[in-house]
Structures are given as structure tokens and as C-alpha cells.
Amino acid sequence: MPEIIKLLSENRNNKLLESIFDYFEEVSNCKDDHLINSIFSVAVLEILGNDEKILRAAQEYMGPKTMQLQLEADRGLGRIR
């Protein structure tokens, strides 16, 4: 995640970010609740929401399901967005 955060903060390598977030969208649409609710939510979505600027940059690449899960992760943590 640190490298993804760095890419987002520097707003560079857009093609790589598009590929990464396309993969995140695939993961978001999988049927494995443990993968989504435990691993992906904590390892990716909560970290992206830690910084408002990073989250805004990430939202430019997020697909609809990833965006929905991000909002759910923020609500679960009591963040207001």
C-alpha cells in the first residue's frame, strides 16, 4: 500500500493506477465475504480513507463497487465523508 499511496500523492503513472484500481474492482466484486470484509477492507480501503487528499485522488480511479465498499468502510470506522 505505501507505493500506491505514493503514486496517488504524486499523481503519476496513471496507467499503473488504473490497472491497480481495475484489480481492486475485481476483488470488490468477488463473492468471498471474508476477503472483502476483513482483508481488502482493512488492508486497502481503510488505509485509503486515512488521508482526505489521497482518498479524493483514489476515487478518480475507483469503480462503483470499490467506491461503495470504501464508503461502508468509512462508515464502519465512524468517519464522516
What is the full per-residue pLDDT of the chain (81 aa) written as tens digits?
999 999 999 988 999 999 999 999 999 999 888 888 788 988 899 999 999 999 999 999 999 999 999 999 998 888 865
Burial class (CB in 10 A: 0-12, 13-18, 19+), 65: middle
What span, in angstroms and rounded, lies between the C-alpha atoms of 55 and 34? Answer: 23
